[in-house]
């Protein structure tokens, strides 16, 4: 039982690890009474493949690729390969970038190909739960 009236609105230590990197995660279904919003913030320090196969979702997604040191936000010493569309059109991300993935758009794979200095990858989805189709 909560000791304060609004304790339910706070998620303590929303931390975890997925594959090769630590992350902060907030899930609308689990953490926020079913809110149509989820967020994953990944701290990437080494190369690796995050998304292996092309897939789509029934919700919008917004990706942000940033320098791991916000004090140097214009720098980006990494390369990420990311594919969009049924034809898997490849895009090379080599500077701070935001990407909108509309509902139903096929996307992936996502390969953090070169990481010379840590980057932050933010995955924001307008859904209470992450699910692929």
46-90 pLDDT, tens digit each: 999 988 999 999 999 999 999 999 899 999 999 999 999 999 999
Question: Which two tokens mark 37?
Answer: 């919003």
In this predicted structure, the answer to whether residue 42 has a pLDDT above a threshold of 80 is yes
In this predicted structure, the answer to whether residue 16 has a pLDDT above a threshold of 80 is no
Domains of the chain: 16-125 (2.60.120.10)
**Predicted pLDDT at 26:** 84
Average pLDDT, the chain: 89
* Cβ atoms 41, 24 nearer than 8 A: yes
Q: Taking phi first (over 0 means left), then psi (-120 to 50 degrees means alpha), and beta for anything else, what does residue 88 get?
A: left
Better-scored residue on pLDDT, 23 or 63:
63
DSSP secondary-structure letter at 62? E
**Predicted pLDDT at 88:** 94
Q: What is the pTM of this model?
A: 0.86
């Amino acid at each position: 039982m909560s000791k304060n009236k609004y304790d339910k609105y706070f998620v303590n230590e929303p931390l975890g690890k997925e594959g090769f990197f630590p992350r902060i995660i907030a899930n609308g279904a689990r953490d926020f009474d079913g809110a149509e919003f989820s967020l994953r913030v990944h701290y990437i320090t080494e190369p690796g493949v995050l998304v292996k196969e092309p897939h789509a979702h029934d919700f919008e997604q917004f990706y942000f690729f940033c320098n791991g040191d916000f004090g140097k936000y214009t720098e980006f010493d990494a390369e990420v390969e990311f594919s969009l569309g049924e034809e898997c059109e490849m895009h090379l991300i080599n500077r701070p970038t935001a990407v909108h993935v509309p509902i139903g758009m096929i996307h992936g794979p996502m390969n953090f190909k070169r990481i010379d200095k840590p980057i932050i990858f933010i995955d924001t989805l307008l859904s209470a739960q992450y699910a692929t189709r």
